[in-house]
Amino acid sequence: MAKRALEIARWDLECEFNNTDHRTELNGVEQLIVRRGQPFTINLHLRSGEYQPGGSALNLTVETGPQPSDQYGTRASFGLTDQIDTSRWSAAVTSPPGYMVSLSICSPPDAPIGRWRLTLGQGGLVEFVLLYNPWCTGDVVYMDSEEKLMEYVLAQDGIIFRGSWKYLIPTPWNFGQFEDGILEACLRILEMNPKCLRNPGKDASGRKNPIYVSRVLSAMVNCNDDKGVLLGRWTDDYDGGVSPLSWKGSVEILRNWDTNACQPVRFGQCWVFAAVACSVSRALGIPCRVVTNYNSAHDTNSNLVIERYVDENGQVVQKSRDMIWNYHCWVENWMTRPDLKPGFDGWQAMDPTPQEKSEGVYCCGPIPLKAIKEGELTYKYDAPFVFAEVNADVHTFMKHKDGTTEKIISSVQVGLKISTKSVGSDRREDITHLYKYPEGSDEEREAFTKANHQNKLLQQQENAGLLIAIKVSAEMRKGCDFDVFAVVTNNTPNGKKCRLVFGSRAVSYNGILGENCGFKDLLNVALAPGEEKRVPLRMNYSKYAENLTEDNLIRLAALLLDYGTREAYLAVRNVVLENPEIKVRILGEPKENRKLAAEITLQNPLPVPLQNCCFTVEGSNLTGGQIITEKLNSTVEPGQDAKVKIYFTPTHSGQRKLVVDFDSNKLCHVKGYRNVIIGK
């Protein structure tokens, strides 16, 4: 006997139940947002007749993209079965016979993500969004730790490490991947990528693969080749946009791009590119974290060597595109790599900052961290560039006035203190061991052999006899005068006569040098055998204040010339000047959907008044996806407090981060935050 087709009068997508079950409820419950490989429920109200097991039929069709195809997994037709099959598109009735039918529908764990259309027999069309599912064992982004999933998928705020390897600065960031409109912006990024515009059917099919999507995101977060999100700028000229340091989170950036016809947002630098990529990855369901590599090498000619040139005063002479950035940020996405041999699953480095082209496009990765650690530089994607960032050799040459050059002795290392935020806390987790074996170990030598890094293999430890190092004061606060020291040691059995050049210049985090902040040239430094001398250099606020960049960095360089042997020794160190602390005090008991106040205070540490003072505040599920701005009408004198009170209404319970930024005429982009525990 032929089965009778169900006549559907209306349906209920049960968005609140489904979205909560699929951990997408923070996106809102107005539309159906589900994760692949996991059933969701639709309630069907019949026009006539009852549902009868075995006697009722319903044909369903799902489609995604403009050219749906069964062959490419972007279309599927299926009917009712006795139970759900989680390996393919399937549907089963879970309610008893009656006029209302509870329908359970499941997608396969490798279905393409994005916008889908579901046709219910002759009854109507349903639209929903399908995301990656790191909770599903069959999904290639599966992660088996609930605590890590809370951090790397669901956490809407975090910490990005900046500063220098000697002084790491935790900077708060509001990823905001569940704020209103952000998922729509993330899906639009996929739809605007050139691969989609050229071949939308193939691109829609490719979205089943997080390797493909990560590569698309790496290219689309910057706008160098496409209608991407951010335009990078590494100078002090931010006309037509804002300083990268002014951003407190990804929400404003993604909204601006989405609502302004996909025009690039101005401006970004590495931590901003990385943070936006993290927001988009988490929004789509890929576990993701931001990492920082200190003393990060930028090797433009792929020889795994950074060549630096200094003049006879120890100041850098720009002769090569190779650079050492004070730090560089990228992201890691979590996934398996079925395209590679076993053993290379897990964290994959992906860098959206436009530096070098990959396959003709400014993108980088994803490349397994294990491939970098093992020196497997033939693996996809962009292994040599990332390997160099953490392992390149540094050769320093002195360029004389007559044009000749000679190699000088320097001890600069790259790839230090690779850092990310710890799971469940704001502490730093050092992940250098995931990228590199311990220096000097047999495993490190084997990795260098695979990578053909002959420079490292042949390098001999030089015991110069003369040593030079730079020491700094315990506290180096912006606004204060302080001393730094060149420490010279003579470990030879003979007396030495030397020249010591000790200089300082403002520097940006990517190694671009600014103006002089202090200089000393001692022509006759005498050192007895075994003697150590400490030579101070006074850093006066009146001298460095106007030269300092927004990064608060000063580059110290001490060059020692041995008159007897004509050998030169160079020590370089970047120091970060501390900004004042922003204090945040919560007034009252934080409760969901109840107005709350916070008192925010910053003391002026400078010997000059602060004018045009402004606090800006935002936080996921705290400020309604908006930025709260409070300006001070009065001038803040030296030693006085700048203080404001702001009001906001938390919308969800749990721990949230209130991110604060202070800006004035003399003290720009001071960051602070406060973790707020919101109760029901």
Is 151 annotated to bind a ligand? Reply is: no
Q: Which strand ranges, in their side-by-side order, compose the sheet holding 114-120?
A: 33-35, 124-131, 114-120, 60-64, 75-78
Q: How far apart are CA 222 and CA 230, in angstroms?
A: 5
Three-state DSSP class for residue 251? helix
Question: Taking Cα atoms as reference points, which of 476, 475, 478 lies closest to residue 666?
Answer: 478
Contact yes or no for 113/36 (Cβ under 8 A): yes
Contact yes or no for 171/582 (Cβ under 8 A): no
Name the token pair of 508. 């940006």
Contact yes or no for 178/283 (Cβ under 8 A): yes
Contact yes or no for 104/198 (Cβ under 8 A): no
Please report which helix (H) or strand (E) contains residue 444, including its range: helix 442-451
Strand partners, 527: 496
Is 446 annotated to bind a ligand? Reply is: no
For 88, other C-beta atoms within 10 Å of its C-beta total 14
Torsion-angle region of residue 370: left (phi > 0), alpha (psi -120 to 50) or beta? alpha
Torsion of CA 112, 115, 116, 122, to 10 degrees: -170
Contact yes or no for 396/254 (Cβ under 8 A): no
Q: Catalytic amino acids?
A: 270, 328, 351
Name the token pair of 10. 């209306």
> Which amino acid is present at 15?
C
Contact yes or no for 423/148 (Cβ under 8 A): yes
Contact yes or no for 156/178 (Cβ under 8 A): yes
Is 322 annotated to bind a ligand? Reply is: no
- Looking only at the bridges linking them, the beta strands covering 416-421 and 40-46 are unpaired
> Which amino acid is present at 143?
M
Question: Taking Cα atoms as reference points, which of 71, 54, 60 lies closest to residue 128?
Answer: 60
Q: How far apart are CA 558 and CA 315, in angstroms?
A: 9
Strand partners, 645: 599
Question: Taking Cα atoms as reference points, which of 650, 538, 539 lies closest to residue 589?
Answer: 650
Length of the chain in terms of residues written: 680
Residue-wise DSSP of 466-495 = EEEEEEE-S--BTT--EEEEEEEEE-SSS-
Q: How far apart are CA 645 and CA 615, in angstroms?
A: 10
Is 439 annotated to bind a ligand? Reply is: yes
Q: How far apart are CA 620 and CA 426, in angstroms?
A: 16
Name the token pair of 58. 């319903």
What sign results for the dihedral spanned by CA atoms 193, 197, 202, 207?
positive
Q: Which residue matches tokens 């030693």?
A: 639
Phi, psi for 638 (deg, rounded to 5): -55, 135
Phi, psi for 67 (deg, rounded to 5): -130, 70
Q: How far apart are CA 107 and CA 34, in angstroms?
A: 10
As annotated, the binding site for Ca(2+) includes: 391, 393, 439, 444
As annotated, the binding site includes: 391, 393, 439, 444
